[in-house]
Structure 1
């Protein structure tokens, strides 16, 4: 805010003083400024689009690299090193071309601003010299004064262009962040009415679930009743639906058909926080956060877990 007030004050001061001294010369000197404003708007639009493209390509490049590192064993097992290298090379080249195009745009942008500001100085000297020939006593000092004002305006105008360029880059990055922040979860508490802690019989009543992205039906008309205090073990081959049952109970997914109730209450009427707080779930795919072993073990425990609880 301080810099903004400083720029506005400086620009206003220069324009007022210039207009007071000589209105005709002021209009001639400021002639390149509308062109500069159009240039800033046009180039910033281009920078925004290219920055957005560069951010997207960088995301694809890093994703490609991360998948290659994580799945290196699979890649080597299927002898796909050359294919993955080809994908990475293609993504790298696309990123390089767009990054160079963005750099070229910015490389032309700032010298163009300096050129237009320099034209104002040239106009001042050219028109002012003609005026000085007619009346050297009164107009020589006026020329010097106008040149000083233009030099004082050089930094504010350049700062506006530089700031506009930074804003466009930030806007492109923020747009990608907003895509995640504004994504609404498919599973929510829109129907949640009960605030009680779930307890009682867990009932799967003719539950059917098909994974939407693959079309694989993991469960079909499955009915299970688990009474309080009972212990169950689900056995089955890979893909038989064991994990799907657990994830449906956690409401990671919504059943396609049928219903799931806990203590006589439908799961979608129980707030997610209360539901998942009452379930201990160990996923089959392990994941470690960048933290101590103790904190990873105590993840999800309310408050500070003591050493005995961790052991």
Structure 2
């Protein structure tokens, strides 16, 4: 399943795709849609139609905010874990689940010392190719970083698939999984003896600097939308913490909020359309009030007057040492 052509391609940053900003409300968390594309991605087999994907424009648009939000405080215990492991040829092996365009690798590889080999997992071959060619070349200390890609179903991971992993990581993944899928993920990591760094899961809380009476209703409707079909949405981090702890891991959770101000106007507008759109899809009775709300919020955003904190959480699960 390895996409060797993408893995062997010369590293380069793809800067030819400009973020777009459609005027229509997107019924989802904000991905930019293209004709015929679905707005959200499900990382499992057996779906109708062609495999959905997040548009790379959306992933590129959010990457700087993601990078600023991720919890740096979790890197110290992770580095401590690595320092306790015996050195091995080839360095760290890091599996990035649902890698999208590879933003997690671009953020993390440059913050870890030592040689690294990244294994990028996603269902979308286009995104896998994008991630492979835009992956980093060097670690924090100048050591070599290499990459391979694997197309497959994140929800069906086994310990064998993660065999030899030094770390399993993902970004914005947990909240689009069900409880059984999170249990499968925790079991696979435990079976492989690998820690997991799982970042930017929605926390279900949004705070505007200028509150509006409709904020609470929209947030509640959006959270309900995130839980459709058995997905965990804002309950995912709690469920994941329980699942990993149940497999004997030590679990830490840190906040990782987006803090969006005038300098993030494009991202804020796109996120806002998706947030309101999902809420209205869940509760159509909100539509009339939501249209006025969205118009006013977008106008404030365009004027540089909108500030909002979108709360997320990062989770680090580290297997406890096995007693001799």
Scaled by the length of structure 1, what TM-score is found?
0.20
Structure with more contact order per residue of length (Cα contacts < 8 Å, sep ≥ 6): 2
Scaled by the length of structure 2, what TM-score is found?
0.20
Asked which structure has the greater CA Rg, the reply is 1
